[in-house]
Amino acid sequence: MLMCRDLAEIASDYIDGELNGRQNLSVKMHLMMCKDCRTFIGNLRASSNLLSAHSSGKADEEFLRRIDERVAEALNARKIRGSDSE
């Protein structure tokens, strides 16, 4: 029988739909009977959603501007190379 601890070990696989049919069924059965694990799964799923919602655009502006500068330099160099060969 699947214990709470066993369920906790495979909880992410359950959330992501990575379990096989038999495992999936035993998790579902356990969840029907166990309120604590329902809360756990719900909260783990919420944690996962939290990360998706958390803005991934965290690179700081100064870093991005430095990239802009280097790209601009390289683009110019490329243009000069291009017009030389034409």
DSSP 7-76: HHHTHHHHHTT-S-HHHHHHHHHHHHH-HHHHHHHHHHHHHHHHHHHS----S-HHHHHHHHHHHHHHHH
Touching another protein, residues 60-79 (CB under 8 A):
63-64, 66-68, 70-72, 74-75, 78-79
Q: Select the binding partner of residue 33 from another protein, Zn ion, none (C-beta < 5 to 8 A, by kind).
A: none
Contact positions toward Zn ion, by CB under 5 A? Answer: 4, 34, 37
Interface contacts to another protein, rule CB under 8 A: 3-6, 8-13, 16, 18, 36-37, 39-40, 42-44, 46-59, 63-64, 66-68, 70-72, 74-75, 78-79
